[in-house]
Structure 1
Amino acid sequence: MMALATSLLWASSVSAEDQPARQEPSREDTEVSPEEKAETLPGEGLDTQTEPSQRGGLSNIALVNRSEENVITQASDAFGTSVGDETIGLYSGGNVRGFSAFAAQNVRIEGLYFDNQGPLSDAVRAGSTIQVGISALGYPFPAPTGIVDFSLRRSADKPVVSARTGFGDFFAPFATVDAALPLTGNLDLNVGAGMEEFVYPDGADFWFVRYGGVMRWRPAEGVELTGFFSRYDYFDEETIPVIFTAGAFLPKRIARNQFFGQDWADWAGHSQNFGGMAKVTSGAWRIGLGLFSSRFTIDQFGANFFANTQADGSADRQVLLGADQVSQSYSGELLVERDFIEGPRRHRLLASARFRRVDDDLGGFAFRGLGPGMIGVADPVAEPGVTFGALTRDQIRQETGALGYEMKWQGLGEINLGVQKTGYRKEVRAPGLAPTANEDSPILWNASAAITAIEGLAIYAATTRGLEESGTAPAFATNANLTLPALRTRQVEGGVRWTLAKDMKLIAGLFDVRRPYFELDSDNTFRVLGDVKHQGAEISLTAKPVPGLNLVAGAVLMRPRVTGEAVDLGRLGERPLGRVGTTLDLRLDYQPPAFDALSVDLGINYTGGRAARIDNTLFIPERAIVDLGARYRFKMGRTPAVLRVQVANLTNVFGWNVTGGGGFQFIASRRINMSLSADF
């Protein structure tokens, strides 16, 4: 789950390859930074293709009633599903087979291309799925690092007002109101607003407000027009300090839930997204058009660091300050599809035109040393006076044209082919330096095939080539926040999907993903140091073994490796920094048939060891996190309501996460979340 939303710490706490999108903070937290697919198997029938008006917005995620949200019962596999503010699965947008779909800009809104600079608010976002492996089979123009597809909220036949209140991690309060309003027979409106405190594992906290709305108009049969506006504002955000040790050892264990940074080194800003979509179905033709704007600002920036940390916890305190950081993009896609039916075969032709325009104003930071200190010990000092430097302007311009062909053969299988021609240009204008630019215009392609001649069993294979963004350099690098160049990536995969029974589905696959490897060099510059390949197996099992019991289980067994001159010379180890080789995730939800007002849920997430230094002289040990929760459904008069309680990290496991460049932050301690939802 992406729950801890190191979301707003994207620049200062994670490697560019691991960065999640700057997500709205969530009250859920697990060790994996994990984000509906059609239930039918490829080739099972001529109606297996998800329509453009439904893709990414399937009804089992885009619920109207907030009290009915349950991510375990609504997940169709274990790879990554988000419903409301809860997320489960092996993967998330920031971690798909060890890479970041968000950093690569492999994001869609209901199937249409979206350049995501800042997160969509829960006021408009119903949920999301990770399109990877066989779930991406038949998905137009897949990407090597997977695709995150967001669903926007929808309305039903009757108006519903959903109110939620409670407290999240470490008793941080929140309150939200969402309304799903059918205004006329063909015009719907969803609006929402909320305010929440968010508390980080070390006691740092901040407040944010979120608000937005979605309007859908169906002026004629087969036509749907959608417009949305989403925003959240965050302010006075203290940030978790990053600890860098002086050698190949982990920081000493320190007390959690006690902030030990400088409270004036905080963040403030906003995330804003808006746009519109038009989807038309007329006979064998389907047309989708989306135009979007995404903006993320950091009006005030502050990051705390403890450098040269010794085994006893003594360290040099440092802070990085900045202001007026802005990332703004405009993007969109026109997708046209045409079907031809020939006996048992359905042929589909696809044509797509995409664009994005990105303008980033970043940098100008001021770095200050604050003297010696101890990790875990609060020692406030006066805020130093600083003068910020001029900002660096990054501009990205990219246009992509694509053609695709798909053929489904009833009772036999399907093939899917695609080719893309993209033009990419990035220009960087740094203060006092001549502008620099890099361009690329590759031809990219994808091919996949599935055999479904045996009822209930699909065997598939696929390969994909991509040109993907690699995020930004972390805040502690000499090129902090610099937008990194686009990289060519490639993936080969294959596997099976087996429906063992009506309510039991097994997916198993092998994958090989490769791309250039970014990390800090000896001069503290974040750059390509070699190539990285992630080879492994992934397994998903969803089942309802007995009445009332839903099971979602998954495993990733991966062998991440770095190759290149730096490894051959001994400057880098073979294990890439922070990559987890083994991940196991189990989710159970049980609703006793004799007492269906109550359900209990259990989550167990195991992660294997990971390299904590680029030379592989230090590893973070394996760990398992257990979450336990319950829902109680009742009525307040005629109003359905749900009381939700969850204990996260039940056994209070202590552990460290490694950030880009080899810094450390500890994981969250045991905590209780509680909410009350009612649908009026």
Structure 2
Amino acid sequence: MPVKLRPITSCCAIAAALAFAPAAQAQSAAPAIDAPTTAATGARAAENAVRSAADAFGTSVGRESIGLYDPEGVRGFSPTAAGNVRIDGLYFDQVWELGARLQRTTQIRVGLSAFGSPFPAPTGIIDYGFRTPGDETALSLLAALNHWGNHSVEADANLPVSSAFSLGLGAALYNDRNGNASRAQFLEYSVTARWQPSPDLEFVPFATRAQGNELKAPLFLPAGEGLPPRLPRRFFKGPAWARYDGTAFNGGLLTTWRPAAGWELKGGLFHSRFDDNRNFTNLLVDLDAAGTGTQLILADPPLKLGSTSGELRLTRTISDGPRVHRIHASLRARAGDRRFGGAAEIDLGTTSLYEPTAAPRPAYAFTAQQQDRVRQWTAGLAYEGRWEGLGELSLGLQKTHYRKRIGLPGEPPRSTNASPFLFNLTVAAELSARLALYGGYVTGLEESGIAPENAANRNEALPAIRTSQRDAGLRFALTDEIKFVAGLFDLRKPYFNLDAGGRFDALGDVINQGIETSIAGPVTPRLSVVAGAVLLRPRVRGPSVGPSVGPSVGPSVGPDTGVGTQPVGAISRRLEFNADWRPVWTPGLSFDVSASHRSAETATVSGLTTIPARTLVDLGTRYQFTISRRSATLRLQIENLTDVQSFELKGAGAYDLLPGRRFGGYLTVDL
């Protein structure tokens, strides 16, 4: 199934795209990291997330994503919102996700898997493996369909022009039908190049653009505490004119230069932006048990956000017998500009969520917009040392300067500044050929995201925050190919959510402590397993923490409640199991199962409402074969096999419908 892509720092712009095909991802010489097995650039028929994953913490390959974590949730926080995104290890201030055509894999770097990243960050790192054009001609075509009527086509080509120059071209068209009967259309296209004028010098420019539109389905906000009533499936509740339309762009240049043995200079310069030409937020608020509430439509004027970012890193590698030393000098910078706000509120009156909305589009007027400007640079030095058979040491020191200027209509500009020193220290000890222990401490200055759609200050960019992480654990090789990883962690950040007036603001501090485990690898040549668990103890502390203090204050700003001891979105238990089995009787045929369980999820700031625990099971099969000596794969899958009915949390006290059972598949052919 396609995964939704949206401008990462906006809750209002929506488009659909797909994670793309794999290629071998370069890994450092850290003993804690195992390189996933992936197909060559341009070949998609062999992609398989279960057989590619080195651990259970999060891997995306092609159209599949597995693992305990994803780019929006790692150890209870969002590394994407925090700004911890990398492209081949280089800093990227992501406004819109890199794009399906340019990703070969996505890895979640936490615990031991963060070794090899010279400047780790609290909340983990999202590392995109870039799809660099290769030396062989390749063309991949993919067509997908499910029983809701979703259909898509994708085409990707690798075209070597000479021994020193190659082109990569890609395009995709998606037509989506969602569980709430909303519809979306999306077009994505990209071009990349690889120029290698000498064996020691490489340039990789790229550009990708997306444009799409979507009929905006509602978010459901009950009156006071409690979950919404049972929501209708495959039923659109909203006016036909409430439709999003926008474009997004990513472009940049990756450069690698090795001027002499042991020296490497890597650089990345990126521009990421989106333009919301038209957007609406559809809210059904003050819902009662009978499904009656008020429908509000928030209409936005054109919204824009762009960021130019990059990193220049010089690395010196010194080999000394069984010891390898790496010294990194890094300079990162970003310049982000944002225009937002000015929305008009349209009250469509009392309605039932079981009846269609036929209200005509009224006249409305926008108000003045706000502007944010962020400038930040970070200079750092890091050391990585590895002693074969003994262990590994990673430490770093960074100095960052952050400045945000906020222009509010009719008010003098406001600004916030921060210039802290940041540091990291991680040690791994190899107690034997099979057992390694590790421990570390990391500090960070991170973004805290933007206010969600149900907040009074919706879309407002929030200030940077100081964060810290302590973790420790072990890795044990059960066999040469099966690895068991277990770790403890403690993350601390300021806590942002809806206050009593409906503003999304700092309410205290949140501490997430937990245990995470992973086991991954081929049990037999025909059976591969990836399984993991997270036991989390999240809690909020601060002077405002306490019981509910009153009833709802109004439909457009959310509930007036006290701050509970559990943060919104807290899930104390998560279990994941994935297996891929290839039977002996039919070469090319495989069966797979994915089962995920999570405990109840805290849904309101007070902590008095939770979404019940749920277990989801997906079943699938793939058949690899040849068509005129060309590799092909037919993939079929049933998602949410038992048709579990539940809610998805979209913000404090705001809900959407969990998609029910879906049948779908796709055919991939490598030409």
Q: TM-score, normalised by structure 2?
A: 0.94
**Among 153, 162, 182, which residue is 1:184 paired with?**
162
Counterparts in 2 of 1:10 and 1:582: CA distance versus 1, 3 Å = farther
- Structure 1 residue 641, shift from structure 2 partner: 1.2
Provide the rounded CA distance (Å) in 2 between the counterparts of 1:373 and 1:258: 15
Deviations 1:7-26 (A, max 9, x none): 4697458xxxxxxx977444
Alignment of 1:481 onto 2:459: yes
What secondary structure does 1:565 align onto? coil
Counterparts in 2 of 1:39 and 1:220: CA distance versus 1, 3 Å = closer
What secondary structure does 2:523 align onto? coil
Aligned to 2:565: 574
- Structure 1 residue 348, shift from structure 2 partner: 1.6
Provide the rounded CA distance (Å) in 2 between the counterparts of 1:95 and 1:147: 11
Q: In structure 2, what residue type is equivalent to 1:239?
A: K
Provide the rounded CA distance (Å) in 1 between the counterparts of 2:62 and 2:593: 18
Contact 2:535 2:574 in 1 (8 A): yes
Deviations 1:315-345 (A, max 9, x none): 0111111121111000010011112233432
- Structure 1 residue 539, shift from structure 2 partner: 0.7
Aligned to 1:263: 240
Aligned to 2:221: 244
**Among 319, 339, 344, which residue is 1:361 paired with?**
339
Counterparts in 2 of 1:218 and 1:24: CA distance versus 1, 3 Å = farther
Alignment of 1:381 onto 2:359: yes
- Structure 1 residue 74, shift from structure 2 partner: 0.9
Q: Unmatched 5+ residue regions in structure 2? A: 549-561
Provide the rounded CA distance (Å) in 2 between the counterparts of 1:514 and 1:9: 22
Provide the rounded CA distance (Å) in 2 between the counterparts of 1:240 and 1:613: 21
Q: In structure 1, what residue type is equivalent to 2:635?
A: R
Identity percentage of aligned residues: 37
Contact 2:37 2:51 in 1 (8 A): no
Alignment of 1:253 onto 2:230: yes
Provide the rounded CA distance (Å) in 2 between the counterparts of 1:476 and 1:330: 29
Q: In structure 2, what residue type is equivalent to 1:121?
A: G
Q: In structure 1, what residue type is equivalent to 2:4?
A: A
What secondary structure does 1:301 align onto? strand
Contact 1:225 1:279 in 2 (8 A): yes
Counterparts in 2 of 1:175 and 1:74: CA distance versus 1, 3 Å = same
Counterparts in 2 of 1:560 and 1:3: CA distance versus 1, 3 Å = farther
What secondary structure does 1:67 align onto? coil
Contact 1:25 1:198 in 2 (8 A): no
Q: Spell out the pairing of 1:413-428 with structure 2 (5 A cutoff).
A: 413-428=391-406
Provide the rounded CA distance (Å) in 2 between the counterparts of 1:333 and 1:498: 35
Provide the rounded CA distance (Å) in 2 between the counterparts of 1:351 and 1:363: 39
Q: Spell out the pairing of 1:535-554 with structure 2 (5 A cutoff).
A: 535-554=513-532
Contact 2:633 2:667 in 1 (8 A): yes
What secondary structure does 1:346 align onto? strand
Aligned to 1:608: 599
Q: Spell out the pairing of 1:165-564 with structure 2 (5 A cutoff).
A: 165-168=143-146, 170-235=148-213, 237-281=214-258, 282-564=260-542
Contact 1:23 1:120 in 2 (8 A): no
Provide the rounded CA distance (Å) in 2 between the counterparts of 1:6 and 1:507: 31
Contact 2:632 2:668 in 1 (8 A): yes
Provide the rounded CA distance (Å) in 2 between the counterparts of 1:450 and 1:9: 34
- Structure 1 residue 594, shift from structure 2 partner: 3.5
Alignment of 1:587 onto 2:586: no
Provide the rounded CA distance (Å) in 2 between the counterparts of 1:27 and 1:523: 39
Alignment of 1:660 onto 2:660: no
Query: Aligned residue pairs: how many?
Result: 654
Contact 1:61 1:127 in 2 (8 A): no
Counterparts in 2 of 1:589 and 1:485: CA distance versus 1, 3 Å = same
Contact 1:224 1:280 in 2 (8 A): yes
Q: TM-score, normalised by structure 1?
A: 0.92
Q: In structure 2, what residue type is equivalent to 1:328?
A: G
Provide the rounded CA distance (Å) in 2 between the counterparts of 1:416 and 1:437: 35
Provide the rounded CA distance (Å) in 2 between the counterparts of 1:452 and 1:9: 39
- Structure 1 residue 61, shift from structure 2 partner: 6.5
Alignment of 1:629 onto 2:620: yes
Q: CA RMSD in A?
A: 2.1
Provide the rounded CA distance (Å) in 1 between the counterparts of 2:405 and 2:633: 51
Q: Unmatched 5+ residue regions in structure 1? A: 14-20, 29-35, 51-56
Counterparts in 2 of 1:192 and 1:672: CA distance versus 1, 3 Å = same
Q: In structure 2, what residue type is equivalent to 1:676?
A: L
Provide the rounded CA distance (Å) in 2 between the counterparts of 1:522 and 1:62: 53
Contact 1:43 1:409 in 2 (8 A): no
Provide the rounded CA distance (Å) in 2 between the counterparts of 1:148 and 1:276: 19
What secondary structure does 2:45 align onto? helix
Provide the rounded CA distance (Å) in 2 between the counterparts of 1:161 and 1:140: 35
Q: In structure 1, what residue type is equivalent to 2:602?
A: A
Q: In structure 1, what residue type is equivalent to 2:273?
A: R
Q: In structure 2, what residue type is equivalent to 1:275?
A: G
Deviations 1:96-131 (A, max 9, x none): 111111111111111111110012222222221111
Alignment of 1:5 onto 2:9: no
Provide the rounded CA distance (Å) in 2 between the counterparts of 1:12 and 1:162: 33
What secondary structure does 2:148 align onto? helix
Contact 1:200 1:240 in 2 (8 A): no
Q: Spell out the pairing of 1:640-651 with structure 2 (5 A cutoff).
A: 640-651=631-642
